[in-house]
């Protein structure tokens, strides 16, 4: 097979008309041509860090949308399903991914459970981590969120890192705000990347210690604006990733969208393309195609590299997308779940004030970091005019009583919304303006054994997530449409956030400061300990 186009050569940093010959799934030869060519050919794009589960569909469903955006490979951390189902969940993702041509490179989750301060559905031991790292499809040890365990030499944490070293596989990091001596200890243990940088100062310190920085632009966490100058300063140390991407956003774009944005803003074309092709390939030893003779024929054609409008995608020499359609079929994923949770009552989540001060979580649109606000008054907690809403988390695995806190930032004027996507343990989480609406939304999720729900004045809209309570067996297009309807419903209640459900899901993510809520109580992510809701 021979393909002609203007080749974007990231190694020689030039663009020229070329004839590319493909045989047996690999590039046999690349020859410069004197003939005028149409479109631009470049290596297929790689997402350097993503949780497929956050798209709320299986790997197979994800693949169709991804290849239409020029993605040929993803570096995927199955941490979310692992916290629900353990090793069984990881193997489920690998098996489902094998049904489609998109190249999935999985990690062995390092933190299951993510912390001991929440209830998860499973645990993965050091020995089980070692067994996972033996699997060829497992390319790295996934993000080591337990940075206190690393710097204090926790036995199980170090055992997992040790297994990665034995198999010669890199260790991903997750250390928001960590700096100074603690950061040096963390890096010296063998942690090689971080995707949680929110400032240039933080990113430069980590790069200075030898880490690679993954610039993230997902649905809830968006750091491209703050970190894009790294493309100029350290082009070999930067990768692009989406981390968590809701289905409606995936339908509109993936890594192609980030690359186009950077190129249109004047960042060097070759450095931008390198950040989402060569850099992740080399760091994770992926073996993806980089448009060299002998490489797998993983490449894309775009109409104009400044807009990155993808017209065709090839993986292993087979066109998987072209003429505005995907050229493979996915028959759907099997259902697998773990849910043991009774419904809650409004009375269960009522709270009695027992202190003059009240801690409030402040959520920030586009960021995972939260603030801690201290309110001094004698009120019951709710203050809709001041945007003080109630937040509830319910253990879905052992049916414990719900925990309660208050939150600012969502802006609801009425109603409530809930989900069984609550990072990292995926218990049921809900926020709203009244105990009755919160109970209605949470109970809708519980009755579905997982999903999303919006409730107001006794009326409930919902989306079932019948795979592990975090993914749907439905096609991506259906899930995206239903998700967008629910998102608009939340916005109609007063919320102005870009991705309210995604932001809500991170209000239970204890490893990100400052204040979060688990099923066991209010948690200070800076001090890494529980704190009381009320105090004197």
Segments making up each domain of the chain, as ranges: 45-286, 346-535
The alpha helices in 135-217, defined as continuous H runs, are: 147-151, 155-166, 180-188, 200-208
Q: What is the DSSP letter of 405?
A: E
47 by DSSP, 3-state: which?
strand
Distant-in-sequence, close-in-space partners of 364: CB < 8 Å, separation ≥ 6: 370, 371, 409
Query: CA 19 to CA 31: how far, in whole Å?
Result: 5
Mean per-residue pLDDT over the chain, rounded:
95
User: Please, which pLDDT band fits residue 443 given cuts at 50, 70 and 90?
Assistant: very high
More confident: 382 or 91: 91
Burial category of 12 from C-beta neighbours within 10 Å (exposed 0-12, middle 13-18, buried 19 and up): exposed
**Given this model, what pLDDT does residue 150 score?**
96
pLDDT 10s digits, 13-30: 999 999 999 999 999 999
What local confidence, expressed as pLDDT, does residue 39 receive? 95
pLDDT (tens digit, 9 = 90+) per residue, 56-82?
999 999 999 999 999 999 999 999 999
Strand pairing category for 238-241 and 212-216: parallel
Query: SS3 for 305?
Result: coil
Backbone angles phi and psi of 6, in degrees to 5: -85, 110
Token digits for 406?
């208050």
Give which of 357, 343, 290 is closest to 42, Cα–Cα. Answer: 290
Give the other-Cβ count within 10 Å of 386's Cβ: 12
Q: How far is CA 402 from CA 128, 209, 367, 482, in A?
A: 31, 42, 26, 27
Q: What's the CATH number of domain 45-286, 3.90.1150.10, 3.40.50.2300, 3.40.190.10, 3.20.20.140?
A: 3.20.20.140
Alpha-carbon distance 155 to 168, whole Å? 20
Contact 406, 348 (CB under 8 A): no
Question: How crowded is residue 508: how many other Cβ atoms within 10 Å of its Cβ?
Answer: 25
For 455-501, the pLDDT digits (tens) are 999 999 999 999 999 999 999 999 999 999 999 999 999 999 988 99
pLDDT at 378: 67
The residue with tokens 């066991």 is: 520
The pLDDT tens digits for 414-440 are: 999 999 999 999 999 999 999 999 999
Give the pLDDT confidence score for residue 246 in this predicted structure. 86
What was the pLDDT predicted at 380?
67
Angle, CA of 11, 13 and 17, to the nearest 5°: 100
Question: In the structure, what pLDDT confidence band is assigned to residue 124 with cuts at 50, 70 and 90?
Answer: very high
Tell me the C-alpha distance between 226 and 137, whole Å: 33
Between CA 32 and CA 7 the distance in angstroms is 9
Contact 170, 140 (CB under 8 A): yes
Q: What is the DSSP string of 183-243?
A: HHHHHHTTB-EES---SHHHHHHHHHTT-EEEEEB-SS-B-HHHHTTHHHH-GGGEEEE-B
- How high is the pLDDT of residue 332? 84
pLDDT digits (tens, 9 = 90+) for 180-237: 999 999 999 999 999 999 999 999 999 999 999 999 998 667 899 999 999 999 999 9
Question: Does the pLDDT at position 35 exceed 90?
Answer: no
Whole-angstrom distance, CA of residue 238 vs CA of residue 353: 48
Average pLDDT over residues 243-258: 92
Across residues 6-11, what is the average pLDDT?
A: 97
Confidence of residue 379 (pLDDT cuts 50, 70, 90): low
Distance CA 65, CA 256 (A): 12
User: 193 and 172 in contact (C-beta within 8 Å)?
Assistant: yes
More confident residue, 36 or 123: 123
User: What crossing angle do the helices spanning 476-492 and 59-68 adopt, rounded to 10°?
Assistant: 90
Q: Is 126 exposed, middle or buried (0-12, 13-18, 19+ CB in 10 A)?
A: middle
Tokens of 500: 């309210």
CA dihedral (14, 288, 261, 268) positive or negative:
negative
Q: Does residue 312 surpass a pLDDT of 80?
A: yes
CA distance 71 to 76: 13
């Amino acid at each position: 097979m021979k393909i002609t186009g203007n080749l974007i050569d990231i190694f020689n940093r030039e663009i020229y008309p070329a004839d590319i010959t493909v045989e047996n799934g690999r590039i046999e030869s690349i020859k410069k041509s004197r003939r005028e060519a149409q479109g631009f050919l470049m290596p297929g794009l790689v997402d350097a860090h993503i949780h497929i589960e956050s798209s709320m569909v299986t790997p197979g469903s994800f693949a169709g949308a991804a290849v239409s955006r020029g993605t040929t490979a993803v570096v995927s951390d199955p941490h979310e399903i692992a916290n629900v189902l353990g090793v069984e969940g990881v193997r489920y993702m690998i098996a489902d991914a094998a049904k489609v041509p998109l190249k999935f490179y999985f990690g062995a989750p390092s933190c299951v459970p993510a912390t001991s301060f929440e209830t998860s559905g499973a645990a993965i031991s050091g020995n089980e981590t070692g067994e996972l790292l033996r699997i060829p499809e497992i390319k790295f040890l996934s993000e080591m969120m337990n940075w206190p365990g690393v710097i204090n030499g926790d036995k199980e944490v170090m055992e997992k890192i040790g297994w990665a070293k034995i198999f010669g596989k890199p260790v991903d990091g997750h250390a928001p705000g960590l700096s100074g001596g603690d950061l040096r200890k963390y890096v010296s243990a063998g942690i090689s990347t971080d995707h949680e940088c929110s400032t240039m100062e933080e990113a430069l310190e980590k790069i200075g210690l030898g880490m690679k920085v993954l610039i993230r632009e997902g649905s809830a966490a968006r750091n491209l604006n703050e970190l894009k100058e790294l493309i100029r300063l350290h082009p070999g140390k930067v990768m692009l990733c989406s981390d968590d991407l809701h289905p409606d956003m995936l339908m509109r774009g993936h890594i192609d969208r980030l690359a186009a944005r950077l190129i249109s803003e004047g960042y060097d074309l070759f450095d931008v393309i390198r950040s989402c092709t060569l850099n992740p390939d080399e760091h994770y030893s992926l073996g993806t195609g980089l448009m060299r003779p002998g490489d797998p024929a993983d490449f894309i054609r775009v109409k104009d590299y400044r807009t990155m409008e993808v017209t065709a995608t090839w993986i292993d020499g087979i066109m998987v997308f072209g003429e505005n359609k995907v050229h493979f079929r996915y028959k759907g994923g099997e259902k697998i779940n773990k849910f043991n949770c009774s419904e809650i009552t409004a009375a269960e989540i009522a709270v009695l004030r027992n202190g003059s001060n009240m801690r409030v979580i402040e959520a920030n649109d586009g960021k995972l970091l939260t603030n801690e606000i201290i309110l001094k008054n004698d009120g019951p907690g709710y203050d809709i005019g001041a945007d003080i809403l109630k937040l509830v988390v319910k253990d879905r695995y052992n049916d414990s009583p719900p925990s309660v806190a208050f939150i600012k930032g969502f802006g609801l004027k009425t109603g409530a919304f809930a989900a069984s996507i609550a990072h990292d343990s995926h218990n049921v989480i809900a926020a709203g303006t009244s105990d009755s609406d919160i109970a209605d939304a949470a109970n809708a999720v519980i009755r579905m054994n997982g999903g999303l729900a919006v409730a107001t004045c006794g009326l409930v809209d919902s989306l079932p997530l019948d795979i592990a309570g975090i993914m749907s067996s439905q096609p991506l297009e259906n899930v995206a449409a239903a998700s967008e309807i629910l998102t608009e419903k939340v916005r109609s209640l007063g919320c102005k956030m870009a991705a309210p459900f995604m932001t809500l899901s991170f209000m239970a993510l204890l490893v990100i400061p400052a204040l979060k809520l688990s099923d066991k109580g209010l948690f200070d992510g800076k001090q890494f300990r529980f704190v009381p809701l009320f105090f004197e």
